[in-house]
């Protein structure tokens, strides 16, 4: 099996995470009497994972540089409150209700506000030499308190109709036909990427995977895409909603009822887009190489000409931008801006990155692993909610999983030395 995994060029930790995820899903499905592995629950699980997965992508680069960000949940809450006030109180007075530009302005404001906060914290860490633990711990308290002061603790609702699509739900699903089209494009992109990567290796004389291994990777990757879309399409709209849609378009309703699949959710597509962009940024750009060089050996990176301070500030600024995007997803999903938004999200984000293979020692981590780690963490929470486990016990389980993941990372790093 070890030789086969090496031929497939698959990280053994990734296989371990997939095995753990399968065990979690099967276990919760048995304990819940088959309620976990249903299209409805899996669709909702993907939507709930989106905001954590987006922030986990940024946390990978933070931890790779041997730093930490404890303020991501508070930034999400503060930016979410700003977005809520902007589109529920300010923009309606200036532009009117349900203006087409409202959601664009709100998203842009969230990205700018989150990025500014990240750059501020990053400059304190990079140029003043304050440890990231202290700066972001202070940020957790500051931005959580600032979120309360924006509205004096009041919940702000409702959100703009177009903006709500970012949160999923009936309005935030793209439907079955478009989902299958995206699946086809995704499979074609996977096959093209594998082909060009193989040709590039052959051109420069590097070893390539055997043909059977290449076919297996392609089959598994495309199978995962098709399976995910099939599950999303198997979750049908409520019958009355489907009937209203059919009547609005003048369509006849069959005798057996009308079944219209939700399709992929908009926040899931946003999270996947962020993950793809961050993967390219981390693996295919000079900035990404600088980040991993700093994590591997900061002194050597600086002696090599890398502007470590500016790079570090950019990493925290990027983390802030992703917090802004996650704030839009979270606020849209709740259709309200609340002071509790983002509470303990920093725990889930850090745990997702570490479970996904990001080493706290720095210099090692993958975006795909972090997103899979976010799915593992959200699966644990969703399963415990389904079984009626109270919040304190959920926090205990998450804390134990985080400690176990760090221990596994320590053992793995010792084994490869």
Predicted confidence at residue 20, as pLDDT, reads 86
Alpha helices per DSSP H over 249-307: 266-284, 286-296, 298-303
The secondary structure of residue 160, as a DSSP letter, is: P
- What is the pLDDT at residue 108? 96
The H or E element containing residue 104 is helix 102-127
pLDDT at 78 (0 to 100):
96
At 193 the pLDDT is 92
Residue 173, φ and ψ in degrees, nearest 5: -115, 145
Q: How far is CA 56 from CA 281, 330, 349, 379, in A?
A: 15, 15, 5, 15
Mean per-residue pLDDT pooled into runs of 10, the chain (417 residues):
68 79 92 93 95 96 96 96 92 87 94 97 96 96 93 88 90 92 96 92 86 88 95 88 75 72 94 96 94 93 92 97 96 92 90 88 89 92 90 85 77 65
Do 78 and 357 contact (CB within 8 A), yes or no? Answer: no
Quick one: tokens of 156?
């702000």
**Which residue's entry shows tokens 């989150």?**
114
Question: Omega of the bond prior to 158 within 30 degrees of 0, cis?
Answer: yes
The predicted structure's pLDDT at residue 256: 66
User: Phi-psi bin for 335: left (phi > 0), alpha (psi -120 to 50), beta?
Assistant: left
How high is the pLDDT of residue 238? 82
| Cα 128 from Cα 124, distance rounded (Å) | 5
Per-residue model confidence (pLDDT) at position 1: 63
Cα separation, 38 vs 234, whole angstroms: 9
Kindly calculate the radius of gyration of the chain based on its CA atoms and give it in whole angstroms: 22
pTM: 0.92
Distance CA 50, CA 62 (A): 19
Q: Which residues contact 224 (CB under 8 A, 6 or more apart)?
A: none
Residue 154 is classified by DSSP as -
- CA separation for the pair 315, 313 (Å, rounded): 5
């Amino acid at each position: 099996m070890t030789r086969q995994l090496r031929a497939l060029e698959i990280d053994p930790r990734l296989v371990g995470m997939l095995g753990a995820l399968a065990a979690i899903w099967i276990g919760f499905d048995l304990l819940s009497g088959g309620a976990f592995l249903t299209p409805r629950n899996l669709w909702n699980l993907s939507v709930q994972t989106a905001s954590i997965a987006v922030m986990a992508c940024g946390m990978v680069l933070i931890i790779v540089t041997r730093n930490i960000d404890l303020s991501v949940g508070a930034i999400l809450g503060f930016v979410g409150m700003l977005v809520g006030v902007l589109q529920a109180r300010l923009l309606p007075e200036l532009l009117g209700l349900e203006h087409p530009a409202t959601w664009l302005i709100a998203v842009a404001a969230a990205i700018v506000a989150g990025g500014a906060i990240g750059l501020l914290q990053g400059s304190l860490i990079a140029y003043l030499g304050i440890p990231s633990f202290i700066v972001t711990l202070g940020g957790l308290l500051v931005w959580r308190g600032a979120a309360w002061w924006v509205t004096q603790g009041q919940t702000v609702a409702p959100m703009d109709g177009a903006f709500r699509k970012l949160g999923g739900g009936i309005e935030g699903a793209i439907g079955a036909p478009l989902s299958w089209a995206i699946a086809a494009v995704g499979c074609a992109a996977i096959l093209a990427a594998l082909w060009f990567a193989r040709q590039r290796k052959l051109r420069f004389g590097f070893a390539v995977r055997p043909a059977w291994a290449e076919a297996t990777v392609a089959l598994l990757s495309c199978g995962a895409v098709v399976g995910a879309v099939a599950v999303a399409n198997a979750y049908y709209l409520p019958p009355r909603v489907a009937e209203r849609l059919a009547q609005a378009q003048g369509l006849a309703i069959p005798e057996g009822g009308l079944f219209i699949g939700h399709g992929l959710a908009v926040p899931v597509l946003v999270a996947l887009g962020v993950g793809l962009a961050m993967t390219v940024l981390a693996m295919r750009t000079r900035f990404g190489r600088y980040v991993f060089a700093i994590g591997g050996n900061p002194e050597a990176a600086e002696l090599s000409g890398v502007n470590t301070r500016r790079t570090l500030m950019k990493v925290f600024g990027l983390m802030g931008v992703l917090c802004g995007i996650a704030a839009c997803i979270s606020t849209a999903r709740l259709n309200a801006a609340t002071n509790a938004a983002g509470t303990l999200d920093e725990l889930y984000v850090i745990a997702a990155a570490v479970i996904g293979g990001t080493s706290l020692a720095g210099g090692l981590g993958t975006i795909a692993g972090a997103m899979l780690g976010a799915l593992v963490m959200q699966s644990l929470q969703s399963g415990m909610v389904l079984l009626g486990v109270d919040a304190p016990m959920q926090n205990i389980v998450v804390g134990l999983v985080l400690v176990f993941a760090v221990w596994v990372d320590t053992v793995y790093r010792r084994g490869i030395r």
